[in-house]
């Protein structure tokens, strides 16, 4: 039985999350699954009762060729005849007549499900089910409902302490304010070869405490050598939020390398895009983390230049829970920036990170984004945008031009997009439009970068010397759109030459109208017209900043009412500062200039700044300047 990994259901924009996937890849489930597969393989024949389609998901993750399957039976009549891992689904009304020696219930709570069958249950003594894969109740938030999403709030974090580089993961106990009172982290560190290096559990402090996981401390605690791998984190006892969000800082002891990236998005996708080709003299590596208890076959990661006709299989076999890097230049020599690559991952990995080696010892890490294969051109989007004013906006930072140079590179993020026309607008810090640049209609494989120095007026003419960027559709140029608009924003310090980049997607901002459930609220139903952003305070020496913009797709209030709230590591509020950002304006926040040194000292060791506004939705980027010349940039996360 050979089942494509692409058939695995992970996350779907219509049906949402498949929690069984998260339960099945849990590292503690792996040995249980191996034993179950072996036991069922010993049966003379097995009848599969598959009420929710989980059997096909199991078959997409594991080799079940040793099973002698008599038939697969389903409840829903519209599913009869559909392919289930290579077998036609049969109606449950035929289940009674099965001559199999074993019933396999492809679900949890098997006895409850079988008891509902009444006279349709076969007279078979031996029953196996996913109940054999259950974690103990000590790992579950809601033991009575195994596939409750809050039972599997987890992710595989990129975690490295090697080559003079360390990793620091920061987040907040944002579950506390939603009612969680006994929250803890179960952690397992895997090396590059997938071997288990360490296990530990970390109880979170009561309150909205800061959370910090540092590779140097982990390495010292467990007496480890250098490692580059995955840190699996399972949040036990959360509330409301079933996704783990966090910021990753990678740094060296000299302060020369400082780079930041976002969470990895725990739902594997078929496609990713936004992998930049290298500038001559530099290299770009794509880090693939295997989040499965089964290997990724050699060549299963497929790469091609954006818009090229054919994908090329890349990379060696990656062992279970292993981590390896792939250099696209090994397969496409001569392809250089501003070219970019897309990745056909076939759900073998979660959103990967890439690392740019500048050639001078400095490295910068960022992430690719999910490329959608389920989208089509939205015929009603141009009219919806006209009604609102600007429609979908991708906001980017415009850092002070006197200190930074910047580049914008659009990245097609849906497989249907063969061409796209975009408009780039720049606003100063007070919200005045200072530049408007039509990028023109460009083919999928002909996206070009825009140097901000070429299109913007001198920085001294901008209020504050900085502002923000808005990338929008240019429907006047005859383009089509789907709302899934992305770009890379790359900035370089003029003094040290250190560069960093970030990428993100568009939303509707600060309008009460809704188009196809956009903009997405972080919690609850759209529209999301409030702000709750996390700004981490790194432990290493340097300058912590953030860039906040107040974009609007139509019309909204004139000024924001934004609170910058400094918290200690325990989650105690230390001080609150109120700022007002003009509509279409922005503010560049320097933490050391905003809060007193004494207050910041109390926040050391895991404290953070909460950016809260109940009047509008802001967009933020965190910035960190290492004392040795490093530069980190990435978008902030909300919750």
Do 90 and 178 have their domain in common? no
Looking at residue 36, its pLDDT comes to 98
In a domain, 435, yes or no: no
Residues 120 and 22 occupy one common structural domain = yes
Name the residue among 541, 589, 540 with its Cα closest to residue 566.
589
pLDDT band at 12 (very low <50, low <70, confident <90, very high): low
Return left, alpha or beta for 281; rule: phi > 0 is left, psi -120 to 50 is alpha, else beta.
left
High-pLDDT (> 70) share of the chain, %: 98
Same domain, 204 and 150: yes
Q: What is the mean pLDDT of residues 391-411?
A: 96
pLDDT interval class at 462 (50, 70, 90): confident
Side-chain half-sphere of 297: how many Cα atoms within 13 Å? Answer: 11
Give me the pLDDT at residue 383, please: 94
The phi and psi torsions of 221 (rounded to 5 degrees) equal -60, -40
Single out the residue in 135, 153, 183 at which a domain terminates. Answer: 135
Residue 524 pLDDT level (bands cut at 50, 70, 90): low
Instruction: Identify which has the larger pLDDT, 192 or 457.
Output: 192
Do 25 and 110 reside in the same domain of the chain?
yes
**Span 543-553, average pLDDT:** 97
Distance of alpha carbon 246 from the chain centroid: 10
On the question of a cis peptide bond just before residue 527, with omega within 30 degrees of 0, the verdict is: yes
Q: Which domain holds residue 59?
A: 5-135
Per-residue pLDDT tens for 313-356? 999 999 999 999 999 999 999 999 999 999 999 999 999 999 99
Confidence of residue 444 (pLDDT cuts 50, 70, 90): very high
Which CATH number is 128's domain given? 3.40.50
pLDDT in tens, 228-247: 999 999 999 999 999 999 99
From CA 241, how far away is CA 198, in angstroms rounded? 27
12 and 121 share one domain? yes
Q: What is the pLDDT of residues 113-155, one digit of tens each?
A: 999 999 999 988 799 999 999 999 999 999 999 999 999 999 9
Q: Is the pLDDT reported for residue 625 higher than 80?
A: yes
Flag whether 98 is in a domain: yes
DSSP three-state, residue 618:
coil
Global pTM reads 0.95
Q: Which residues contact 293 (CB under 8 A, 6 or more apart)?
A: 25, 27, 29, 30, 33, 34, 61, 320, 321
Residues in CB range of 436: below 8 A, 6 or more apart? 423, 424, 425, 426
Is 406 inside a domain boundary?
Answer: no
42: which 2 tokens?
């010993």
As a whole number of angstroms, the distance between CA 409 and CA 423 comes to 12
Based on the domain organization, do 55 and 171 belong to the same domain? no
In a domain, 408, yes or no: no
- For residue 465, the SS3 value is helix
- Its sign, for the CA torsion 178, 180, 181, 184, is negative
Tokens standing for residue 321:
């829970």
Say yes or no: 117 and 14 in one domain.
Answer: yes
192 lies in the same domain as 232: yes
Residue 323 falls inside a structural domain: no
Residues 14 and 83 in one domain: yes
Same domain, 184 and 67: no
Final residue belonging to a domain, choices 112, 135, 158: 135
Q: What is the mean pLDDT of the chain?
A: 94
Q: What is the pLDDT of residue 523?
A: 60
Per-residue pLDDT of 557-606, as tens digits, reads: 999 999 999 999 999 999 999 999 999 999 999 999 999 999 999 999 99
For residue 632, what are the β-bridge partners? 624
Domain membership of residue 283 (yes or no) is no
Residues with Cβ within 8 Å of 100's Cβ and at least 6 positions away in sequence, in order, are 43, 44, 45, 46, 47, 70, 71, 122, 124
Looking at the structure, tell me whether residues 68 and 176 fall in a common domain. Answer: no
Residue 425: inside a domain, yes or no? no
pLDDT in tens, 245-293: 999 999 998 888 889 998 888 899 999 999 999 999 999 999 999 999 9
Closest CA relative to residue 107, chosen from 25, 19, 3: 19
Q: Quick one: 117 and 154 in the same domain?
A: no
- How many distinct structural domains can be found in the chain? 2
Dist CA 492 CA 514 (whole Å)? 37
377 pLDDT more than 70? yes
Domain of 153, CATH number, reads 2.60.290
Beta bridge partners of 102: 46, 126
CA-CA-CA-CA torsion sign (58, 63, 68, 69): positive
174 within some domain = yes
Structure confidence at residue 219 as a pLDDT band (50, 70, 90): very high
Q: Residue 508 phi/psi, 5° resolution?
A: -85, 140
Domain's final residue, options 209, 228, 244: 244
């Amino acid at each position: 039985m050979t089942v494509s990994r692409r058939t695995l259901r992970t996350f779907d924009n219509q049906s949402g999350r498949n929690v069984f996937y998260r339960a099945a890849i849990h590292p503690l489930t792996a040995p249980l699954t191996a034993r179950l597969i072996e036991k069922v393989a010993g049966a003379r024949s097995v009848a599969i009762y598959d009420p929710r389609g989980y059997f096909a998901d199991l078959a997409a993750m594991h080799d079940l060729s040793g099973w002698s399957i008599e038939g697969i039976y389903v409840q829903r009549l519209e599913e009869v005849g559909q392919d289930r891992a290579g077998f036609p689904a049969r109606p449950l009304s035929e289940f009674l007549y099965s001559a199999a020696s074993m019933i396999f219930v492809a679900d949890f709570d098997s006895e409850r499900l079988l008891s509902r069958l009444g006279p349709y249950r076969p007279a078979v003594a031996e029953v196996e089910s996913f109940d054999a894969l259950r974690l103990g109740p000590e790992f579950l938030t809601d033991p009575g409902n195994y596939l409750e999403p809050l039972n599997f709030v987890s992710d595989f974090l990129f975690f490295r302490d090697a080559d003079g580089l360390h990793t620091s993961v920061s987040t907040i106990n944002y579950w506390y304010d939603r009612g969680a009172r006994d929250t803890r982290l179960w952690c397992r560190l895997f090396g590059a070869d997938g071997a288990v290096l360490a296990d530990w559990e970390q109880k979170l402090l009561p309150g909205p405490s800061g959370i910090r996981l540092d590779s140097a401390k982990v390495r010292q605690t467990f007496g480890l050598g250098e490692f580059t791998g995955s840190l699996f984190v399972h949040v036990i006892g959360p509330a409301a939020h079933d996704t783990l969000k966090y910021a990753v800082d990678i740094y060296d002891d000299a302060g020369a390398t400082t780079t930041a990236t976002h969470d990895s998005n725990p739902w594997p996708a078929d496609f990713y895009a936004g992998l930049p080709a290298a500038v001559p003299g530099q290299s770009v590596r794509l880090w693939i983390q295997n989040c499965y208890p089964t290997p990724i076959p050699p060549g299963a990661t497929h790469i091609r230049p954006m818009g090229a006709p054919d994908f090329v299989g890349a990379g060696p076999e990656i062992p279970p829970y292993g981590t390896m890097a792939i250099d696209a230049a090994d397969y496409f020599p001569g392809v250089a920036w501003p070219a970019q690559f897309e990745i056909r991952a076939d759900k073998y990995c979660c959103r990967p990170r890439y690392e740019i080696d500048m050639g001078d010892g400095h490295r910068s890490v960022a992430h690719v984004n999910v490329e959608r294969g389920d989208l089509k051109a939205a015929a009603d989007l141009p009219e919806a945008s006209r009604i609102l004013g600007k429609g979908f906006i991708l906001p980017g930072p415009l850092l002070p031009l006197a200190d930074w140079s910047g580049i914008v590179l659009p990245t097609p993020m849906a497989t249907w997009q063969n061409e796209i026309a975009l408009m780039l607008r720049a606003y100063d810090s007070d919200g005045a439009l200072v530049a408007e640049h039509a990028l023109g209609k460009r083919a999928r494989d002909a996206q070009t970068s825009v140097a901000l120095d070429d299109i913007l007026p001198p920085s001294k003419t901008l209020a504050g010397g900085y502002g923000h960027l808005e990338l929008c559709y240019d429907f006047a140029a005859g383009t089509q759109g789907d709302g899934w608009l992305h770009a890379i924003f790359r900035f370089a310090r003029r003094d040290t030459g250190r560069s960093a980049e970030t990428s993100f997607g568009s939303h509707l901002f600060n309008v009460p109208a809704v188009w196809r459930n956009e903009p997405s609220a972080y919690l609850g139903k759209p529209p999301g017209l409030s702000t709750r952003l996390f700004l981490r305070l790194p432990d290493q020496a340097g300058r912590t900043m953030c860039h906040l913009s107040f974009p609007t797709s139509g019309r909204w209030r004139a000024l924001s009412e934004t609170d910058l709230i400094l918290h200690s590591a325990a989650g105690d509020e230390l001080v609150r500062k109120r700022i007002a950002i003009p509509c279409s304006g922005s503010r560049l926040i320097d933490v050391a200039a905003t809060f007193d040194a004494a207050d910041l000292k109390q926040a050391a060791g895991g404290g953070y700044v909460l950016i809260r506004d109940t009047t509008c939705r802001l967009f933020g980027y965190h910035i960190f300047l290492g004392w040795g010349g490093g530069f980190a940039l990435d978008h902030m996360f909300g919750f």
